Amino acid sequence: MGLFDKILGKNEEPEVPDLEELMGTEGDVVSPPADFYVKRVDLRNEGDGEMALKELGSKNIIILNVIPLSKQPNRLKGIISKLKAHTGRINGDIALLSNEMILLTPANVKIVKSKPKAKPGATIIE
């Protein structure tokens, strides 16, 4: 990018690679079958929450997409509370990956959670 491009405002955005193309699309075919799976579940209703609990019982790791219920916060809170309680009872774990995704693990699988880094000059009270 030259000086005139900067002055005239011609900003070239860096090219982002197509991650789906890089990863390849093999579908859901697993050969040979695995002992455990990582599965994505779209949370649309209580039934999807029950399906996630069933998958945890089968020792699968769940990536829960909460976007479908994001317009119903009270309902979403209720389902998440139920999932949290269940993972605690079975000695599993639950963690927020992003505002749209939650990670659920089965019994005896723990998620390493890092504490947020303190801002310079901030006082940390423990």
Decide which of 5 and 113 is more confident.
113
Q: Is 62 helix (H, G, I), strand (E, B) or coil?
A: strand
What is the amino acid identity at position 12? Answer: E
CA angle 87, 102, 54 (to 5 degrees): 45
Residue 18 placed within a domain: no
Residue 58 placed within a domain: yes
Residue 12 placed within a domain: no
What is the amino acid identity at position 90? Answer: I
Residue 116 placed within a domain: no
Domain that holds residue 98: 33-109
The predicted pLDDT at position 26 comes to: 61
- Which pTM value belongs to this model? 0.70
Residue 10 placed within a domain: no
Output DSSP code: residue 67.
Answer: G
The total of structural domains in the chain comes to 1
**Residue 73 belongs to a domain with what CATH number?**
3.30.110.150
The predicted pLDDT at position 114 comes to: 79
- Beta strands 101-105 and 61-65 are antiparallel
Q: What is the mean pLDDT of the chain?
A: 83
Residue 4 placed within a domain: no
Query: Is residue 99 exposed (0-12), middle (13-18) or buried (19+ Cβ within 10 Å)?
Result: exposed
Residue 39: CA atoms inside 13 Å, Cβ hemisphere, count? 21
Contact present, 111 and 93 (Cβ < 8 Å): yes
Residue 97 placed within a domain: yes
Residue 121 has pLDDT above 70, yes or no: no
Residue 72 placed within a domain: yes
